[in-house]
Chain A
Amino acid sequence: MAFEYAPAPESRSIVDIKPSYGLFLDGEFVDGRGSSFKTVNPATEETLAEIAEASDADVDLAVRAARRAFRGWSRMSGKERAKYLFRIARIIQERARELAVLESIDNGKPIKESRDVDVPVVAAHFFYYAGWADKLAYAGLGPNPQPLGVAGQVIPWNFPLLMLAWKVAPALACGNTVVLKPAETTPLTALLFAEICQQADLPPGVVNIVTGAGATGQAVVSHPDVDKVAFTGSTAVGKAIARAIAGTDKKATLELGGKAANIVFDDAPIDQAVEGIVGGIFFNQGHVCCAGSRLLVQESVADEVLARLKRRMGTLRVGDPLDKNTDIGAINSREQLERIRELSDIGEAEGAERWAPACDLPSSGFWFPPTIFTGVTQAHRIAREEVFGPVLSVLTFRTPAEAVEKANNTPYGLSAGVWTEKGSRILHMASQLRAGVVWANTFNKFDPASPFGGYKESGYGREGGRQGLAAYLKEAGA
């Protein structure tokens, strides 16, 4: 007797996708001067809209608009700026369903994640930083902190709206103005956010959105009149940005790749640890820079944890992102799918054992089943390189010291997870793990009040929390 859940798709009709979109410059939607590109629904490969590709000249216009707006915006009292941010936060809540549906259509992530995680956390970020706007002098960052100027922000495709919020909310709260470039595969929610800025009567030029691919992003970060660069994305691009701005007086925060260790001790609450492993790597199809992609499990419980993990993976539902019962949606692009396939094939070729539960994948669109590799060692590429997909490498350890060594033996250091019932061990591990975030008996939890950022090749600077303000203020913390 099987319980077959009938499809429960969220209605697409709540959101109105235009056939083509221009750029958002100085408070208005305008046509780009460059060419255009298409954004597709990764679950169906259907073209959603034509998007303008901003040229250098467009980017220049955007930066000029931001510079003009900076004069008024930075001199406005914090209390006034807060009103705008609160207004934006409330409109995001009011239009939450629309934003969630659009995010799922453009990105491929399941509606339950865009609806229950992304959009609420986006609103929370605007509320949180709205609260800081008139209290900057009390943030412990100097008595009279001043904004930097124009921020050039480039964000990735894995959390299009959330990364926008992480960047835009603190920048505006501190009195900066922004030129933001969303990823070329997921520009639609940023453009809807532009509409929300209009609806909130945000002064023109405070937020400018330029769409495009790598060249546009390059134009944004290297524009001479940009004071601050904020980037979230791959380590390779992060390095290129660091090189491009070296020797200038631009400030930068880079939030880059990760290969997080999720460490399960033998005294862990096993069932919840299994949930944490699943959430750590299969949340958002594994398109998470802080994903727990390296499972380090104590040898004494490895078999039990693996058996439970496999059984749990068998219940994951892969499919239509708009179905409320979907746990794992589509891979964001064909390019990313190829990369996941390539790294998985390498994992197999290197001798790791590949396992995925039986699941029917849709015939069109970009899909990859939740997959684990066992018998992985530190010497395997699959244990070292960021896959950025639903692929977990399972390694084992024997002692806490070995767990720390293995966890830290990576060029990255964005996050880590520790699963144990022993409180003292949690504190001990947290102090030794070189990772920006260490989650204890949980994983992938985000809160605007909690700073986020990396060690080593995972980047520098912090976003979120009081620390997130420092990245947008002059001589903050000095």
Chain B
Amino acid sequence: MPTTAPADPAPGLAAYSEVTASEASLRRFLHGLPGVDQVGAEARAAGLGTRSIKTTAKEWALDLAIRMVDLTTLEGQDTPGKVRALANKALRPDPADPSCPSVAAVCVYGDLVGEVKAIVGSEVNVAAVATAFPSGRASMEVKLADTRDAVANGADEIDMVIDRGAFLAGRYLQVFEEIVATREACVRPDGSHAHLKVIFETGELQTYDNVRRASWLAMLAGTDFIKTSTGKVQPAATLPVTLVMLEAVRDFREATGVQIGVKPAGGIRTAKDAIKYLVMVNEIAGDDWLDPDWFRFGASTLLNDLLMQRTKLTTGRYSGPDYFTLD
């Protein structure tokens, strides 16, 4: 898991310094990106959703999906006990089957990072939401303090929310600068940095054009991942939204040489859905992204269905939910 910062921004990215020089140039650039035709994008996503993944391909996809899960609990009622249970599950999702891989990360609120870290160590990453999650409505100082706190608590990854109000009001440069500042707040004393994931809350951005613009905005600002949703707003992750984001990271790498990860979060509950996402990653961004370093599922209930389907493939039978741990 790469958690150290690249020494310098990639040379490809430097070519875009003009773009982010002013509010006007940034707006011109974002609005000059090719539009997204809603009907066409949704039809493409639906088409990829009909790929039939069976037998060996399914086996491979299920294990990969498990390795890509950010096992998440983001409730006001979260306690140390709750997140410890989740951390143990992250390490050994299926106690009955040692061949079952660990998940990618456990995602919690910043104050609970230490509890999780104590259990998972460096075997599984710990992600913390920050920047006044989930609304993003706080002063910049508070957001940065929130981020620094989580990093100081040992978070390997920071999931930040953008200020959707600023974005929708067209204050793109403000959003850009917030991401840049948060990215700086992720730097640890030793110079390494916690991985930054930028959450757009696509359900609030509403249009695919906005999703594409937000993706480029965050990538230009130096994010490591772009993420669809907090999970607190409906609709959360959808296939077409993720499709647009996958197109964005694909185009961005082509333009700058920099690869950015994608994380759909919220609402992905079944193995069948997860496999549809993997097919889309494969056919839109390409198989370079079929890796937990570059694609994650933000999910809490998905894991058990993945485990159940995995067991079904090995034993030929479905076991009941009681055969899998709660969390």
Residues of A near any B CB (own CB < 8 A): 1-6, 8, 112, 116, 267-272, 275-276, 315, 324-325, 421, 441-442
Contact = CB atoms under 8 A, between A and B. Distances in A.
B235 interface: no
Contacts of B53: 5-6, 8
A442 B51 contact: no
B37 A6 contact: no
A5 B60 CA distance: 10
A1 B50 contact: no
B245 interface: no
Contact of A276 (B34, B40, B290): B40
Among B53, B64, B290, the one with the most A-chain Cβ atoms within 10 Å of its Cβ is: B53
A116 B47 CA distance: 10
Interface stretch (B121-129, B141-149, B277-285): B277-285
Nearest to B208: A269
Among A2, A271, A272, A442, the one with the most B-chain Cβ atoms within 10 Å of its Cβ is: A271
A6 B35 contact: no
Contacts, number: 72
Contact of B35 (A269, A315, A325): A269
Given A3-B57, A3-B282, A421 B51 contact: no
Judged by DSSP, the binding face of A is loop
B39 interface: yes
Contact of B40 (A2, A6, A272): A272
B247 interface: yes
Contacts of B50: 112, 116, 324
B55 interface: yes
Interface string B32-71: 0011110111011000001111111110110010000000
Nearest to B50: A112
Nearest to A2: B287
A271 B40 CA distance: 9
Contacts of B247: 271
Contact of A8 (B54, B278, B290): B54
Contact of A4 (B36, B56, B291): B56
A1 to B, nearest CB: 5
B89 to A, nearest CB: 25
Contact of B52 (A3, A271, A276, A325): A325
B34 A270 contact: yes
B36 A269 contact: yes
A269 B37 contact: yes
Contacts of A275: 40, 43-44
Contacts of B61: 3
B37 A1 contact: no
Given A3-B279, A5-B51, A8-B52, A271 B60 contact: no
